[in-house]
A and B are shown apart, each in its own frame.
Chain A
C-alpha cells in the first residue's frame, strides 16, 4: 500500500530522485564526525527557525510591549522557557558551530578549485548569521539588547562619509525608538531569514555538485562510505548531543532578565553580544581619530580575506602541514579573535566607565584649583547639601546622588543655576534655593562637584555628625527616605506600572546601592536609626515584613510597589526619616523601580522571573530527554553487539 502511494506521488513529483540527489553520495575516505559540522549548522538553523516562529506566536514588536511579551512567553506559557532558551542559546551555538565548520573547511583546504563558490556562499551565510545575531539581540528591547543596538548602530555611524546616513537608515531615524525596533524586527524575521534560505539552498546544491572533499592523503581516499546512512548516522549523533546541550543550557543557565530598556538610565554599561566582543575590545586600541580603523577597517579586511581566500590560496596542495603561509596566518587570526573575545568578556564594566570619566576629569581639573575644591567640600557639609545629597556613598538620599555629575554631563553654568534656583530646571523640584551663596562660594562648590577624584580621601564628611547637630537641618531638609511596613500610614493608592514589569535584580542592586542603601542599609538589612518613629529604626527589607511578603512574585512586587511609588510616613510622633515617593516624584523611572523591586524580592528568596507555568519543570524535562536518549543508545548498543556476534 505504502509502495503504491510512493509510486503514485513519484509519478507526479520526483520526490525519489530529489531524495537520491540529497542522500546518495560516495564519501571519499568514508564518513567522519568532523564532517557533521555542516549538517549540525543546518540543524541549529532549523531549531532557530522553529523556535523563532513559536516566539512569534507571543512576541509583540513594539517598544512598550516587546519586553513584557517575551517575559510572558518565558514565565506564563507552557514550555515558553524552553522555546526562548533554545532560541537564545541556539543563536550562540550557531556562531560557534559555523565558525568550527569554516575552520574545518579551511584546514582541509576544501575551498579550493572547484569549490570556491561553495566557500563564498558559506562566508555570506556566516555574515547573514551575524546579522541575525545583531538584529535578534535587540528584539526583547531590554537593557542588554537596547544598548547593544545603540552601540552597534553607532559603530555603523563611524563609516567614513556615509556613516551617519547608514546609522539613520538602520535606526529609522536619528535616535533609537519604535522605528528602530520595527526595522530590526522585520530584518530578523523576514528579510535576513529569506536570504539565508536562498543561500542555504545554493550552498547545498554547490556542495552536492562536487561532493565531500575527503582526506588530503591519497592512500586514505581509497576507502569510501555512503552519505546515507553512514554519514547521516554520525550527523544524527552529533545533532542529539547539540540538542541535549541546548536543553541543558536552557535549563541550568537560562537567559538573564536584564530589565526593560531605559534610555535615561546612565548607570547601565552596555556591552555587545559575545560574538562582537573581539571588535569591541579591538576598538580600544584605536582611540580618537583612529577609531574608524577598528570600526570599519578591521571588519572590512577580515570579510575581504574570507571572501577572497580561494583566490589567495590557489595551488592544489590541501595538506595543511604543507601550506606553510596560509594555515599559520589563518590560525593566528583565529587566535587573535579568540583572545580579544576573552579579553572583551573579562574587561570589567568599570573599564569603559573609567576611560570615559578619566578623560573628562582631566578636562575639568585644569579649571579648578585644589584650594577651591577643598573649600567646596567644606561648604557641601556646612550649608547642608549633604543632608539631602550623598556623594561617594555619604549623605542623604532625598535628592539625587551627586557622585557622577561629570558623567551626567553637568556644566559649571548648569550647576550654578541649579543651586541658586532649582526650579529653573525642574518646576516641581523641592530643593530650596541657595541664593545667599556668593559667587566665589558657588565656584568652590561647583569645583568640588565636578571633581569626583578628590573625594574619597581622609576628611570625607560624616552625615551622622552633621545631621543632628546642624540647626539648619530642619530648614534645609532632613535626610529622609526609608521605608515603612505599616500599611495604614501608606497612601492607599494602587501599584504603578513598575509592579507588572519584570525587572533585573542584578541592575536593581546597583540602583539600590545608589538610592536606598542610606536608610535601608547594605543588602537591605536595615537597623538604621530613625528617631521619632514608633519602632526607632528604619524597617529592614531583608527579611521584609510578613505583611508585604508573598510567594507570588507579582503580588509581592505590587505590595512593595505601592510604597516605592507613593512613599510612606512611619508611625510615631515625629519620625526623622520618611519614605520618599520615588515614583510620584519621578526620582526613579518605572524601569528602575521594577529593577529595585526584583532585587528586593531576590533578597527575600523570591525570583521575580519565576516560571509560573513551565509545562514541565525544566530539570525534569532535561532529565526525561537525557534518560530517553541514553535508553535508546543503550538498546541499540546491545542489539548491535548481539548482531555482531552472530
Chain B
C-alpha cells in the first residue's frame, strides 16, 4: 500500500511516510483496544459453568426410613437471563433423620433412568442391565462406577439437595 502515496521530493516523502505510519498504527491500536473486549464478551461467558444451588426436596419426617424413595427436586437453575426451574426425580435413602443419602437418577453408564426393585432390593437400569446395591455399589452390568451421590443439606425439618450432573461412562465421578 505504501506504493500508492505521492513521491514528491524527500521532505514530502518523509512527511507522507510519517502520516501513513501514524494513521495505520493508531487505527490498528484502536482496533485492538476494542477488539479484545469484543472477543472477551463472546468467549468468556461461554466458558463459565452454570451456577447451581440447593433446593428443597421435602420434609424429612415425610420420607420413610429404610428403602429408597423417589423425591422431586425443583432446581432453580439460572440460564443466562432465564430463571428456569427444572424438576428432577432423585432417589433418597433415609437411614436416620440426620443421615440421608441422595442418588442422582441418571445411570452412570449411559444416562438412562434406573428403577428400584423392592423384591430384590436393588436398583436396576432397564437399558443395559446394570444393577446397583442399595448403597449404590455396582453389583453387575456395564456401569463403570457406583451411583452418583448428590450433595445434601439438612436445615430444620427440611432436606435440601443440590442438583448436579456428571460425566457418563467413566470410572471417576466428574462434575459437568
Contacts and interface: CB of A to CB of B under 8 A. Distances in A.
Interface extent on A, as a size class? 35 or more
B45 A236 contact: no
B75 to A, nearest CB: 14
B61 interface: no
Interface in A613-637: 615-616, 621, 624-625, 628-629, 632, 636
Contact of A233 (B23, B41, B82, B83): B23
A211 interface: no
A352 interface: no
A57 B42 contact: yes
A239 B30 contact: yes
Given A79-B41, A229-B5, A615-B37, A65 B81 contact: yes
The B interface, classified by DSSP as helix, strand, loop or mixed, is helix
Interface string B71-93: 00000000011110000000000
Contact of A72 (B4, B33, B80): B80
A638 B83 CA distance: 56
| SS of A interface (majority) | helix
Interface stretch (B14-22, B101-109, B114-122, B130-138): B14-22
Given A79-B38, A233-B19, A639-B18, A69 B29 contact: no
B130 to A, nearest CB: 37
A546 to B, nearest CB: 21
A643 B14 CA distance: 8
Nearest to A225: B6
A23 B33 CA distance: 25
A230 B38 contact: no
B19 A57 contact: no
A78 B18 contact: no
Contacts of A243: 30, 34
Contacts of B19: 229-230, 232-233
A107 interface: no
A590 interface: no
A330 B33 CA distance: 40
A54 B14 contact: no
B38 A50 contact: yes
B25 interface: yes
Interface string A239-256: 110010000000000000
B16 A226 contact: yes
Nearest to A72: B81
A645 interface: no
Nearest to A51: B38
B174 interface: no
Contacts of A82: 37
Given A20-B4, A79-B37, A226-B5, A643 B18 contact: yes
Interface string B118-146: 00000000000000000000000000000
A229 B20 contact: yes
A529 interface: no
B27 interface: yes
B99 interface: no
A599 to B, nearest CB: 22
A236 B27 contact: yes
A632 B32 CA distance: 14
Contacts of A418: none
A615 B39 CA distance: 11
B37 A83 contact: yes
Given A65-B81, A632-B25, A54 B42 contact: yes
A83 B81 CA distance: 17
B80 A632 contact: no
A71 B81 contact: yes
Contacts of B27: 236, 239
A226 B6 contact: yes
Given A69-B81, A239-B30, A628-B29, A77 B45 contact: yes
B1 interface: yes
Interface in B37-52: 37-38, 40-42, 44-45
B44 A78 contact: yes
Contacts of A632: 25-26, 29
B16 A229 contact: yes
Contacts of A65: 81-82
A325 B34 CA distance: 46
A49 B83 CA distance: 30
Interface in A576-631: 615-616, 621, 624-625, 628-629
A628 B45 CA distance: 27
Given A68-B81, A643-B14, A79 B30 contact: no
Contacts of B42: 54, 57
B23 A236 contact: yes
Contact of A83 (B5, B20, B41): B41
Given A24-B4, A72-B81, A228-B4, A233 B38 contact: no
A230 B4 CA distance: 13
Contacts of A636: 18, 22
Contacts of A573: none
A344 interface: no
Contacts of A68: 81-82
B22 A233 contact: yes
Contacts of A8: none
Interface in A12-45: 19-20, 23-24
Contacts of B18: 636, 639-640, 643
B23 A232 contact: yes
Given A19-B1, A54-B42, A229-B16, A78 B37 contact: yes
Interface in A57-71: 57-58, 60, 65, 68-69, 71
A239 B18 CA distance: 18
Contacts of A625: 30, 33
Contact of A240 (B26, B41, B80): B26
21 contacts: A19-B1, A19-B4, A50-B34, A54-B38, A65-B81, A69-B81, A77-B45, A79-B37, A82-B37, A83-B37, A226-B5, A226-B16, A228-B4, A230-B19, A236-B27, A239-B30, A240-B30, A500-B83, A625-B30, A629-B26, A632-B26
Given A58-B80, A229-B19, 19 more contacts: A54-B41, A60-B81, A65-B81, A65-B82, A68-B81, A68-B82, A71-B81, A72-B81, A77-B45, A228-B5, A229-B5, A229-B23, A233-B23, A239-B30, A240-B26, A243-B34, A632-B29, A639-B18, A643-B14
Nearest 8 A-B pairs (CB), nearest first?
A: A79-B37, A72-B81, A68-B81, A229-B19, A233-B19, A229-B20, A236-B23, A79-B41
Interface of A: 19-20, 23-24, 50, 54, 57-58, 60, 65, 68-69, 71-72, 76-80, 82-83, 226, 228-230, 232-233, 236-237, 239-240, 243, 500, 615-616, 621, 624-625, 628-629, 632, 636, 639-640, 643
